[in-house]
Each structure stands twice: as structure tokens, then as C-alpha cells.
Amino acid sequence: MKIMNRRLRQYRAFIFPSSVLIVLCLLYLGVQGIQWDVNTAALAKMIQYFDANVQPRTKSDVQYAIAIRVPQDQCTQEGSDIQTVFSKQDAEHVRNCLTNGEKCVLCTPSKNVIAARPTNTKPKEHAEHVLLYPLGNSPMDKLLAQSDQDSCVVFYSYISPCVSKCIQSKDNILRGISNWINVRTDGINVFVFEKIWHKDIWRKDLKNDFQKIDEKVPFYRCNKTGVMGCKKCVENNKVEPFCLLN
């Protein structure tokens, strides 16, 4: 009996009191449940800045994609100033690269930006695909290697990912987006577009395909109708009409 009691005391020594276990569980759930709300006004300021300072000069409404790593407050606080982390000089350099048909892979001193236009080679590669592939060694992978959980990664495509090529084809960007989110499980991740690809405006399945993107990463639209405004495209499994209007 003495031996059994001694062994029981030794066993209990390795068991946390139930109150401690409860606290640990709550702390764990609290950490896991942390969510950062994107401030759409802050996002609108960022996209307006891209429009004014990064849009290639080749012609109006030319397609390009850019991804940037910034401190969280650039995505959560309306009063933040994108120029503190992406100066007009750096933006001009990225714009010149794009205008000349060149790809930017961490091409600024702060190494927080990647950008590309669609390729002219056949078969043409769309700008979003250029930044997200090849998996494991893409420009996006290189950008993510510089990020941490205290940052926000914004992927912006001037024109929405086209349904036939970017979402429904075997060469779609969904695996690239999954790779991005799998690599970067912490911090804020945002996918934004501005204009709808003109051939997709009347597609009945556009809602479903936008939902496929939002299932992987929070999906937003920013559009200028007088002033730049942004909205999340999917809420409670419903697509926001703002994201579907021409």
C-alpha cells in the first residue's frame, strides 16, 4: 500500500492542476483567435497611391500586379502613410521597371516590393501568375521570406484575375495563393483588385470564382467612383455587389 501511495504521488506530480490547464487552454485559444481587421480606408489610400505612382506609363488601364510587405498599421490605421515604407522615389523606380517591361523582385532598397506585367511571350503569362510561380521559388516566396507576423502583405492586381485563365484553367493562380497562405500563416494577408476584366463582367459564375479566391485569402475590391473606396468581396458566404459592378 505504501508503494502504491508513493507511486500515486509521483504520478500526480506530473499532472497540471485542472485550473492551470483551463488557463493554458484559454491562452492558446486567445492567441489562435487573434484577428486583425483590415481598415478599408487605409487600404483605399494605399491603392490610390499605387494608381498615382506605380501604374505603368505605356497606356491607360494597363494591367500589372504588385505585392508589398508593410507594417500592420498600414493596413489597419487610416492615419498611416504609405510613403514612410514605400517612398515616391521607390514607387517611381518600380513604375519605370514595369513601363520597360521588366519584373521587380525586391528591387527597392527596403526590399519590400515585387511587381510584374503580363509577359509578351507565347503562351502569355498573366501578371498575377508571374508573381506567384514557380511554387517555392517565386517572387512571392522571396517577399514572404522577408516578412513576419507583425507585417501585412498586400497583393494588388489592377485588373481582376480572369476567370478562364487565372481561376478555371489548369494553369490557375489558386495553388499559388494557397502556397502564399501556407507559407505565411500569421499576420495580415490581403488580395485586392480594382477593375473587372472586361470579358468577365457578364459571367454568371464570377461570384463563385471570386469566392474561390476568398476561401484562400481575404479578397477585396478598391474602385474609384469620385473617391477611392474599398470593400471586402465576400461576407457570410455572399458576394458584395460592389465587387461585381463594372
Show pLDDT as tens, one digit a residue, over the chain (246 residues): 544 455 545 544 444 454 444 444 434 343 333 446 899 999 999 999 999 999 999 888 899 999 999 999 999 999 999 999 999 999 999 999 999 999 999 999 999 999 999 998 877 889 999 999 999 999 999 999 999 989 999 999 999 987 666 776 677 899 999 999 999 998 999 999 999 988 877 777 889 899 999 999 999 999 998 899 999 999 999 999 999 988
User: In degrees to the nearest 10, what's the CA dihedral of 142, 193, 33, 207?
Assistant: -130
Q: Where are the domains of the chain?
A: 1-34, 36-243
What does pTM read for this prediction?
0.84
Phi, then psi, of 229 in degrees rounded to 5:
-135, 150
